[in-house]
Amino acid sequence: MKEKKMRYSKSLWGSIGIILAILAALYCLLIFLIMPLYTRHWQRVRVPDVTNLSVSAAEKILRHSKLVPARGDIRYDDAIPAGYTIFQNPVANSYVKKGRRIYLISSKGKRPVLVPNLVGTNLRDAQFSIVQNQLTIGKISYEFDGYYPDGVVMAQGVAPETEVMAGSMINLTVSMGETASGLFVPDLYGMSLEKAELYLQKSQLTTGRVSYIESTTLPNLVVDQSPPAGQRATIGDTIHVTLSKPLKGEEMPW
Give the pLDDT score at 207.
94
Topology annotation, domain 43-109: Trypsin Inhibitor V; Chain A (3.30.10)
Give rounded-to-5 percent helix, strand, coil for the chain. Answer: 30, 35, 40
Is residue 2 pLDDT above 70, yes or no?
no
Asked if residue 47 lies in contact with residue 93, where contact means CB atoms within 8 angstroms, the answer is yes
Give the pLDDT score at 10.
60
Q: Where in the chain is the domain with CATH 3.30.10.20?
A: 43-109, 113-175, 183-245
Q: Model confidence over 208-231: pLDDT tens digits?
A: 999 999 988 889 999 999 999 888
Mean pLDDT of 9-13: 62
Q: pLDDT category, 7, cuts 50, 70, 90?
A: low
Query: What string of DSSP letters covers 97-109?
Result: ETT-EEEEEEEEE
Query: What string of DSSP letters covers 128-182?
Result: HHHHHTT-EEEEEEEE--SSSPTTBEEEESS-TT-EEETT-EEEEEEE--SPPSS
What is the helix (H) or strand (E) element at residue 217, kind and residue range? Answer: none
Which CATH entry fits the domain spanning 183-245: 3.40.449.10, 1.10.260.40, 3.30.10.20, 3.40.50.720? 3.30.10.20
Give the pLDDT score at 254.
44
Give the pLDDT score at 181.
54
Please, is 251 exposed, middle or buried when counting C-beta atoms within 10 Å of its C-beta (0-12, 13-18, 19+)? exposed
β-pair partners for 153: 174
Distance in angstroms (rounded) separating the CA atoms of residues 119 and 121: 6
Mean pLDDT of 10-27: 72
Give the pLDDT score at 253.
47
Q: Model confidence over 114-169: pLDDT tens digits?
A: 999 999 999 999 999 999 999 999 999 888 777 888 889 999 999 999 999 888 99
Distance in angstroms (rounded) separating the CA atoms of residues 203 and 150: 12
Query: What string of DSSP letters covers 13-55?
Result: HHHHHHHHHHHHHHHHHIIIIIHHHHHTGGGEEEPP--TTSBH
Q: Provide the whole-model pTM.
A: 0.46
Give the pLDDT score at 79.
86
Closest to 46 measured CA to CA, from 94, 2, 6: 94
Is residue 29 pLDDT above 90, yes or no?
no
Q: Model confidence over 37-95: pLDDT tens digits?
A: 555 555 789 999 999 999 999 999 999 999 999 998 999 888 899 999 999 999 999 99
What is the helix (H) or strand (E) element at residue 65, kind and residue range? Answer: none
Give the pLDDT score at 130.
96
Enter the CATH code of domain 113-175.
Answer: 3.30.10.20
